[in-house]
């Protein structure tokens, strides 16, 4: 993080190169008076570390979280970049008040005057600035590299900057509810070119009003979305109803026109859910069987015994395609007589581990799915199409996870927490051009082969409505080491849901907390080999504390099934029994 990006810190060298100076708020604030008359000359205020409650930065270029004294991350630099880009285009200050206090107030409340931008400013540039100036940092552009890629692409093809935007998406927000909403399912309808910049698949598209709404899953009458549960939210082909897995492990359904959700009784342990073509039925898998249940409710009906499936799709009203387990190919089952036939088999010569997350294409004759290989993250899978009659298959794209076809003529897939789209011909079964990011901050499980399942929490209806669950505080991170002498940055382990890092005194072992399926567990990572090994208990939520100064002991805490928190001490080599030091009914960690 720079934390103080402003015009005074961006210089041109004699040969015309741009140079960013003064990294890390280097000039300490030692009590000099604040220049209240000029916000962009106000002193840079610094502290020993970035922390909540300390205001750091230069007033006119502070992000909202900086101005509030909250903890910041690299997205605060994205805000400052957006301010600088706006000012370069307009030749005017964006947030300028009579005093520093007025400037901070404008940052927190005032919207940019978009009319000040030159009339010929490309819509894509306006959109880029708007993404940088999102006050909610979760919705802000995530990486400056994304801005660079967009600008470079437009520089190489100037015509792409002036692509028309045929539908603006009005954002409707319930701010009072969102203050305490940790999990949201957002349904966004992209009309014509819309946000995705996609054309309609039909030659005579139905006139549809732009839609943007948040489904608040903690208001009365609604049930909380279960996180880290694979493909846990789907939308009907007609785009008028949704189904998702709740925290209670039951399937919950909701018509978009209604406020409350309904729990479908008897569907506990539901997973890999799919709507029927008419939207009246749901197929799902419990722990032992493939099942179906009416959207209206009623007793679930057994279809066939199965293992631990990774995806279901309806071919027609009486036929399904699904995976029988997490390490198999695809299988077709008839609802008329419950007979099954094998559709695809794994290619062991190329180390295929599974075929998963199938989706039948509109022609009803082909199925799109993900072919995942041993030793590769899910986001590096092959996206494959198979003939439903013969099983003949062809790879259409490599390097994505959880593929879905959009009738605009695009193949959509996930990488990390971003959805990408690439043009796809459903007749020739070929892609063309290059993939482009279309939606960021989506909840996914596509990075870690050991702990993830390759799914992403999104779905697309036939009429172009996209349902997704935002990533929220999902923390896919790469643990790395920075050599302070050389500046060399090297990764230590595969990406994962890691937090609370604690480095041993000798630097050889990193203790972390890994989150999986909503539960946190202590793990040890060898900083040389990257090997990750379990350390704590198998059935408790665990939190890290510290190493002893000699590196012989690790202090951590856990919560048992009764909600009792224990602080414990354990020898690093486990040569002695764990010792309980303290217990309480309140959350605690050493």
Report which secondary-structure segment, H or E, holds 355. Answer: strand 352-360
- Give the span between the Cα atoms of 130 and 471, in whole angstroms: 20
Residue 485, in any domain of the structure:
no
Question: Across the chain, how many H-helices and E-strands are there?
Answer: 6, 38
Looking at the 3D structure of the chain, how many domains does it have?
3
Tell me, yes or no, whether 16 and 157 share the same domain: yes
Alpha carbons within 13 A on the beta-carbon side of 272? 31
Domain that residue 287 falls in: 175-468
Q: Is there a contact between 166 and 194 (Cβ–Cβ < 8 Å)?
A: yes
The phi, psi pair for 432, rounded to 5°, reads -145, 150
Residue 478, in any domain of the structure:
no
- Give the span between the Cα atoms of 97 and 127, in whole angstroms: 25
Tell me, yes or no, whether 139 and 199 share the same domain: no
- Give the span between the Cα atoms of 399 and 418, in whole angstroms: 13
Tokens 């359904």 found at: 253
Residue 487, in any domain of the structure:
no
Q: Is there a contact between 334 and 318 (Cβ–Cβ < 8 Å)?
A: yes
Tell me, yes or no, whether 147 and 203 share the same domain: no
The per-residue pLDDT for 47 is 40
Instruction: Write out the two tokens for 32.
Output: 């000099």
Tell me, yes or no, whether 150 and 196 share the same domain: no
The per-residue pLDDT for 43 is 44
Q: Is there a contact between 97 and 105 (Cβ–Cβ < 8 Å)?
A: yes
3-state DSSP of 424-486:
EECCCCEEEEEEEEEECCECEECCCCCCCCCEECEEECCCCEEEECECCCCCEECCEEECCCC
Tell me, yes or no, whether 190 and 78 share the same domain: no
Report which secondary-structure segment, H or E, holds 315. Answer: strand 312-316
Residue 1, in any domain of the structure:
no
Instruction: Report the CATH number at residue 196.
Output: 2.120.10.30
Q: Is there a contact between 262 and 253 (Cβ–Cβ < 8 Å)?
A: yes
Q: How far is CA 222 from CA 181, 200, 254, 258, 551, in A?
A: 12, 33, 9, 11, 48
Residue 482, in any domain of the structure:
no
Calculated CA dihedral for residues 161, 407, 212, 447, nearest 10 degrees: -80
Tell me, yes or no, whether 445 and 342 share the same domain: yes
Instruction: Write out the two tokens for 578.
Output: 């764990």
Instruction: Report the CATH number at residue 96.
Output: 1.10.510.10
pTM to 2 decimal places: 0.51
Q: How far is CA 87 from CA 31, 90, 144, in A?
A: 30, 5, 18
Q: Is there a contact between 185 and 246 (Cβ–Cβ < 8 Å)?
A: no
Instruction: Write out the two tokens for 69.
Output: 């004294």
The per-residue pLDDT for 228 is 61
Tell me, yes or no, whether 283 and 354 share the same domain: yes
Beta bridge pairs of residue 278: none
Instruction: Write out the two tokens for 188.
Output: 């966004």
Q: Distance of alpha carbon 344 from its chain centroid, rounded?
A: 30
Tell me, yes or no, whether 334 and 454 share the same domain: yes
Tokens 């694979």 found at: 230
Tell me, yes or no, whether 147 and 182 share the same domain: no
Q: Is there a contact between 460 and 451 (Cβ–Cβ < 8 Å)?
A: no
- Where a domain ends, among 162, 190, 205? 162
Q: How far is CA 179 from CA 171, 221, 222, 448, in A?
A: 16, 18, 17, 31
Residue 103, in any domain of the structure:
yes
- Give the span between the Cα atoms of 21 and 434, in whole angstroms: 35
Closest CA to 133 of 121, 125, 143, 141: 141
- Where a domain ends, among 162, 190, 220? 162
Beta bridge pairs of residue 216: 184
Tell me, yes or no, whether 242 and 348 share the same domain: yes
Residues of the chain with pLDDT under 50: 26-39, 41-55, 162-210, 218-220
Tell me, yes or no, whether 330 and 446 share the same domain: yes
Residue 355, in any domain of the structure:
yes
The per-residue pLDDT for 197 is 39
Residue 486, in any domain of the structure:
no
SS3 264: coil
Closest CA to 422 of 457, 460, 396: 396
- Where a domain ends, among 468, 502, 517? 468
Considering all CA atoms of the chain, what is the largest pairwise distance in Å, rounded to the nearest integer? 83
The phi, psi pair for 7, rounded to 5°, reads -55, -40
Tell me, yes or no, whether 142 and 258 share the same domain: no
What is the 8-class DSSP label of residue 82? H
- Give the span between the Cα atoms of 359 and 372, in whole angstroms: 16
Q: At what angle do helices 123-132 and 144-156 cross, to 10 degrees?
A: 170
Q: How far is CA 366 from CA 184, 394, 414, in A?
A: 33, 11, 21
Any residues with CB less than 8 A from the CB of 262 and at least 6 apart, and which?
252, 253, 254, 297
């Amino acid at each position: 993080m720079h934390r103080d990006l402003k015009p005074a810190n961006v210089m041109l060298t004699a040969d015309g190169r741009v140079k960013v100076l003064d990294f890390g708020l280097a000039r300490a604030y030692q009590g000099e008076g604040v220049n209240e008359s000029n916000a962009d000359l106000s002193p840079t205020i610094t502290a020993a570390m970035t922390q909540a409650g300390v205001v750091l930065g230069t007033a006119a270029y502070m992000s909202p979280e900086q101005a509030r004294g909250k903890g910041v991350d690299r997205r605060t630099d994205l805000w400052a970049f957006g301010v600088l880009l706006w000012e370069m285009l307009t030749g005017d200050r964006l947030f300028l008040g009579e005093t520093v206090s007025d400037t901070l107030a404008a940052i927190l409340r005032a919207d940019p005057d978009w009319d000040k931008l030159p009339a010929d400013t490309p819509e894509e540039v306006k959109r880029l600035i708007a993404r940088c100036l999102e006050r909610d940092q979760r919705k802000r552009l995530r990486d400056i590299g994304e801005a660079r890629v967009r600008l470079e692409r437009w520089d190489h093809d100037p015509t792409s900057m002036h692509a028309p935007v045929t539908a603006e998406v009005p954002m409707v927000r319930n701010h009072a509810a969102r203050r305490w909403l940790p999990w949201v399912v957002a349904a966004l309808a992209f009309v014509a070119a819309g946000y995705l910049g996609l054309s309609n698949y039909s030659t005579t598209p139905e006139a549809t009003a732009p839609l943007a709404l948040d489904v608040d899953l903690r208001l009365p009458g609604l049930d909380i979305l279960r996180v880290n549960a694979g493909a846990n939210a789907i939308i009907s082909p007609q785009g008028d109803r949704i189904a998702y897995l709740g925290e209670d492990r039951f399937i919950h359904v909701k018509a978009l026109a209604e406020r409350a959700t309904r729990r479908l009784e008897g569907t506990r342990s539901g997973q890999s859910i799919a709507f029927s073509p008419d939207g009246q039925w749901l197929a799902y898998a419990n722990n032992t069987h493939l099942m179906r249940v009416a959207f209206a409710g009623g007793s679930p009906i057994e279809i066939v015994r199965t293992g631990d499936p990774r995806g279901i799709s309806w071919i027609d009203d009486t036929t399904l395609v699904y995976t029988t387990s997490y390490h198999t190919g695809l299988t077709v089952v008839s609802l008329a007589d419950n007979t099954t036939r094998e559709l695809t088999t794994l290619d062991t010569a190329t180390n295929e581990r599974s075929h998963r997350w199938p989706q039948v294409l509109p022609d009803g004759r082909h199925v799109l799915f993900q072919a995942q290989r041993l030793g590769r993250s899910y986001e590096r899978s092959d996206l494959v199409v198979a003939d439903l009659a013969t099983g003949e298959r062809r790879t259409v794209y490599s390097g994505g996870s959880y593929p879905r076809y959009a009738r605009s003529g695009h193949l959509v897939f996930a990488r990390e927490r971003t959805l990408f789209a690439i043009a796809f011909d459903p007749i020739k079964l070929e892609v063309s051009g290059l993939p482009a990011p279309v939606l960021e901050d989506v909840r996914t499980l596509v990075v870690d082969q050991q702990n993830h399942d390759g799914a992403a929490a999104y779905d697309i209806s036939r009429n172009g409505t996209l349902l997704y669950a935002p990533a929220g505080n999902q923390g896919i991170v790469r643990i790395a080491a920075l050599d302070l002498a050389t500046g060399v940055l090297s990764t230590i382990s595969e990406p994962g849901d890691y937090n609370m890092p604690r480095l041993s005194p000798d630097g050889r072992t990193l203790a972390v907390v890994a989150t999986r399926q909503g539960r946190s567990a202590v793990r040890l990572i060898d900083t040389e080999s990257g090997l990750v090994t379990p350390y704590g208990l198998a059935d408790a939520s665990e939190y890290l504390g510290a190493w002893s100064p000699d590196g012989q002991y690790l202090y951590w805490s856990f919560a048992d099934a009764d909600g009792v928190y224990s602080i414990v001490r354990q020898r690093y080599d486990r040569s002695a029994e764990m010792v309980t030091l303290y217990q309480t009914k309140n959350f605690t960690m050493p």
